[in-house]
Amino acid sequence: MSQRSAGPDPKLLEILVCPLTKEPLRFDAERQELISEKAGLAYPIRDGIPIMLVDEARPLDPDSQPMIG
């Protein structure tokens, strides 16, 4: 009965965008993250809830600076 494997609601994913770029996000089911390729960030999903805060996002490439503001 874990939501971790199911992920967020697909309808929610259709309307969520990156808070920085306003671009669509890609769902990474294995890592339970929403990926913003343009911003270079991965937003975590905790207990089936996307955490859409830049401060909580993980840089996709630890050696590069993510697009901020």
Give tens-digit pLDDT for 2-58. 444 567 788 988 899 999 999 999 999 999 999 999 999 999 999 989 999 999 999
Q: Which CATH class is domain 3-59?
A: mainly beta
The residues spanned by each domain of the chain are 3-59
Q: CA-CA distance, 41 to 28, in Å (whole number)?
A: 12
Distance in angstroms (rounded) separating the CA atoms of residues 22 and 11 = 17
pLDDT band at 67 (very low <50, low <70, confident <90, very high): low
Predicted pLDDT at 60:
95
Predicted confidence at residue 63, as pLDDT, reads 73
SS3 10: helix
- Its pTM surpasses 0.75: yes
Rounded CA-CA distance 27/16 in Å is: 11
Q: How far apart, in whole angstroms, are the C-alpha atoms of residue 62 and residue 4? A: 25
